[in-house]
Amino acid sequence: MTMRQRLIDPPAWTALIAVVAVVVVGLFVVPADRLQGQVQRIMYVHVPSAWIAYLAFFITFAASVRYLWRRDLAADRLAASSAEVGLVFTAVAIVTGSIWGKATWGVWWDWDPRLTTTALLLVIYAGYILIRGSIVDRDRRARAGAVIGIVGFANVPIVHFSVTWWRSLHQPPTIVRPGDPTIDHMLLGELLASVLAFSLLFLYLLNRRLELERARDEAEQALLMPS
């Protein structure tokens, strides 16, 4: 891709404009939460990041299953790329959650089950990337990655439902719960728009990461070809 193509890359601009728009609306248009005040606005980054982390690791899981089933290297590339982008969003979710926690609970970190399990998720996928990076053989790297990707995803439901399984300090679900959401409709609209905008950003980053993975495979193939 040339510099000119990069500058007029429509998916990049779409994602960028969407994210900037929801950030501006989240900071200056929608009112602050009546109880939590201004700090609640960080939820427009924290919640989408957490949602995308779940989505990314699910994609890694599904692509890993497909790789083991079909031996499809494209699926392996998708699994690896999604895990890496998901790891970034998990880190963003933890950092923004920590900032919110300091303002609300008075501490940067609390050994709350959901926080702790999200941190575990971060290290599981950091391990996934580390393991993939340490294996030179292409097929072996894909197989090891697929197994860890499948087993690691088994932890994701524990993250999501831990807030229900264990009594915790963390705010209980406000949207995905029985009955009407407890959040104000305007704030809910902004939150859903943020989720959509960050999803576009995720798709763009995933696509770029996939291009890198494809290029890496081509380079490895070229090195293996007899000159």
Partner 1 sequence: MLGDVAALAMKDVRIELRSPASVAGALTLGLVGLVVTGLAAGPDTARLRAIAPGLAWLSIVYAAITVGERLDRIDRSDDAFAVLWLSVRDRRAIFAGKIMALTLMLWTISLALLGTAVVLLNIDPSPVAVALIPLALIASIALAAGVVVVTSTVGGNSQRVLLLPVALLPLLAPTLLAASQATGALVAGTVDASLPWFGLLAAQAALFGGLGLLTYEHGAALE
Residue 123 backbone dihedrals phi, psi, to 5 degrees:
-75, -30
Binding window for partner 1 (CB under 8 A); candidates: 12-20, 82-90, 115-123, 184-192: 115-123
- State which of residues 22, 80, 124, 193 lies at the interface with partner 1 (CB under 8 A): 124
Of the two residues 143 and 160, which places its CB atom closer to partner 1 in the complex?
A: 143
Of the two residues 143 and 208, which places its CB atom closer to partner 1 in the complex?
A: 143
Separation of alpha carbons 191 and 30, rounded Å = 10
- State which of residues 147, 169, 203, 210 lies at the interface with partner 1 (CB under 8 A): 147
* Number of separate helices (H) and strands (E) present in the chain: 8, 0
Q: Using CA atoms in the order 53, 58, 64, 69, what is the torsion angle rounded to 10 degrees? A: -170
- State which of residues 74, 135, 200, 203 lies at the interface with partner 1 (CB under 8 A): 135
Contacts of 118 (CB under 8 A, 6+ apart): 50, 53, 90, 93, 94, 97, 159
A 10 A CB-CB count for 199 gives 16
Quote the least distance from Cβ 215 to partner 1, whole Å: 25
Separation of alpha carbons 73 and 143, rounded Å = 10
* 130 binding partner 1? (CB under 8 A): yes
How many CA atoms lie less than 13 Å away from 67 in the CB half-sphere?
A: 27
Contacts of 166 (CB under 8 A, 6+ apart): 113
Binding window for partner 1 (CB under 8 A); candidates: 72-80, 97-105, 151-159, 177-185: 151-159
Q: Which residues in 1-30 contact partner 1 (CB under 8 A)?
A: none
* 143 binding partner 1? (CB under 8 A): yes
- State which of residues 12, 62, 95, 131 lies at the interface with partner 1 (CB under 8 A): 131
* 62 binding partner 1? (CB under 8 A): no
- State which of residues 127, 164, 172, 215 lies at the interface with partner 1 (CB under 8 A): 127
How far lies 22's CA from each of 105, 108, 173, in Å?
26, 26, 22
Separation of alpha carbons 92 and 47, rounded Å = 10
Binding window for partner 1 (CB under 8 A); candidates: 43-51, 123-131, 194-202, 204-212: 123-131
- State which of residues 53, 146, 193, 206 lies at the interface with partner 1 (CB under 8 A): 146
Quote the least distance from Cβ 179 to partner 1, whole Å: 26
Asked whether the beta carbons of 118 and 50 are under 8 A apart, the reply is yes
Contacts with partner 1 by CB under 8 A lie at 68, 120-121, 123-124, 126-128, 130-131, 134-135, 137, 140, 143-144, 146-148, 150-152, 154-155, 158
